[in-house]
Amino acid sequence: MVKTGGLPARQEGLRQHNLALVAQCIAAGEPVSRAGIAAATGLTKTTVSSLVDDLAGAGLVTELGPEASGKIGRPASALTLNRSVFVGVGLEINVDYLAVCVANLVGEVRLLRTRPRDNRDQSPAKVLGRAVRMTNNAIAAAQAAGRTVAGLAVAVPGPVETDRGLLRLAPNLGWVEVPVAEILAGRLVAPDLPVLVDNEANLAALGELWFGGHDDLDDFVHVSGEIGVGAGIVIGGELFRGVRGFAGEVGHVTVQPDGPRCRCGARGCLEQLAGQEAILRAAGVAGAAGTSLGQPGGSVAELLARARAGDAATVAAVASAGRALGLALSATVNVVDPGTVVLGGLYASLEPWLREPLGAELSERAITQRWSPARVLASRLGPNAAVRGATGAVVKRVLADPSAVFAVAGHRVAPTRPRTG
């Protein structure tokens, strides 16, 4: 899930850096010995042993016992992330549901709850109040099971200033300038819990990267369509945010300049031609637009049933959305050059009917498609990608700075020791 990176610190006072280096090495793959960590990081065996003792004492790593290596001499003990102590909590605020997920350091889900509720045109105070109660219940359940909560990450449907936890705009909720992190942090049962807020499309892309089960997914665009349309861009296994952190707003790429007015104020945005409301309207499906999680038996279920039955109007509506989606993604492919396009949310369910019209637009408009085509995949996480990505974001923070959770675990990092290696 987490890649190792950087060089071992040699200067006195940078023990925290080396703690992170060792933790990420242990997290990177199969169980590894102290000697294996030393070889991979360039740190001395003595230093690695000391750092591992700190990580184990805090409950971040555990020893599995001697490896059956078959080599002469005393076998080494294999180290792995501890699955039973620390957990991350993910929260998703969407237009018609709230979702909360608790997962351990290797991404295993310990709790996943969804609460359908139409949040459109509801005040931030009311919706976030419900979100706080739901999150506090999840934290209490984790603590009752003997887990230590390392942090909370929140997925929201709009551009976010992540350093401030400020949601700038959520057009489909009608929210503007909402300090989500500040509001939530002041009301959690764990008052000192770190709170991260990010765009739901970004976290969905990271969820697919970390937990989607793909071995070769390092460069891709994850586009999800529900009420709104958003995308997360991953390059070299890292999320691409842009200068101000707002990259990925594919839903507001213009695909029809004289098209319908969008909630963002512009005309002809992809969201107005390939979003769920546009597809339902074109297919003649009655009822309010809603997500598959918010309305399990609602308009989305009917749309999918009609598509599977081969209803002509439904198939044509999805094909039209696929062409609009192909227009926007062709421009994205030409600029970013990803190896893969991942269809998430509603698009994952509609992939069998979207693939051909979307692919046709890519073939015609993406300049590299003739000799190096971007493949198109359906998300394996579907509507849970964002909340799963939120839990993963907490874990990544823990591994990037293990010492930050030592105080929570009642464990302090030993002072820096002079060393020669």
Same domain, 258 and 358: yes
Any domain includes 219: yes
Instruction: State the CB neighbour count (10 A cutoff) for residue 260.
Output: 12
Any domain includes 294: yes
Same domain, 286 and 322: yes
Span 369-400, pLDDT tens digits? 888 888 999 999 988 999 999 999 999 999 98
- Rounded CA gap, 239 and 248, in Å? 10
Any domain includes 55: no
pLDDT of amino acid 318 = 96
Any domain includes 75: no
Mean pLDDT of the chain: 86
Any domain includes 81: no
Same domain, 231 and 181: no
pLDDT of amino acid 213 = 84
414 falls in which pLDDT band (50, 70, 90)? very low
In the DSSP assignment, the letter for residue 188 is -
- Indicate whether 101 pLDDT > 60: yes
Same domain, 261 and 350: yes
Same domain, 364 and 251: yes
Any domain includes 66: no
Q: What is the CATH number of the domain that holds 151?
A: 3.30.420.40
Same domain, 334 and 350: yes
Same domain, 191 and 309: no
421 falls in which pLDDT band (50, 70, 90)? very low
Instruction: State the CB neighbour count (10 A cutoff) for residue 121.
Output: 8
Copy the structure tokens of residue 187.
């009301």
- Rounded CA gap, 255 and 123, in Å? 32
Same domain, 193 and 327: no
Same domain, 339 and 302: yes
Copy the structure tokens of residue 204.
């969905």
- The strand ranges marked E within 305-393 are 340-345, 375-378
Express as a percent the part of the chain with pLDDT over 90.
51
Same domain, 141 and 274: no
Any domain includes 421: no
Same domain, 161 and 180: yes
Any domain includes 391: yes
Owning domain of residue 338? 214-379
CB proximity list for 81: less than 8 A, separation 6 or greater: 26, 27, 60, 61, 62, 105, 106
| Range scoring the smallest mean pLDDT among 106-110, 217-221, 245-249 | 245-249
Express as a percent the part of the chain with pLDDT over 70.
88
pTM for the whole structure? 0.87
Span 294-347, pLDDT tens digits? 666 788 889 999 999 999 999 999 999 999 999 999 999 999 999 999 999 899
Q: 3-state class of 170 per DSSP?
A: strand
The mean pLDDT of 3-25, rounded to a whole number, is: 70
The mean pLDDT of 265-279, rounded to a whole number, is: 90
Cβ atoms of 60 and 81 within 8 Å: the answer is: yes
N-term to C-term CA, the chain: 29
The mean pLDDT of 68-86, rounded to a whole number, is: 70
Copy the structure tokens of residue 140.
């209490």
Q: Across the chain, how many H-helices and E-strands are there?
A: 13, 15
Same domain, 284 and 332: yes
**Tally of structural domains, the chain:** 2
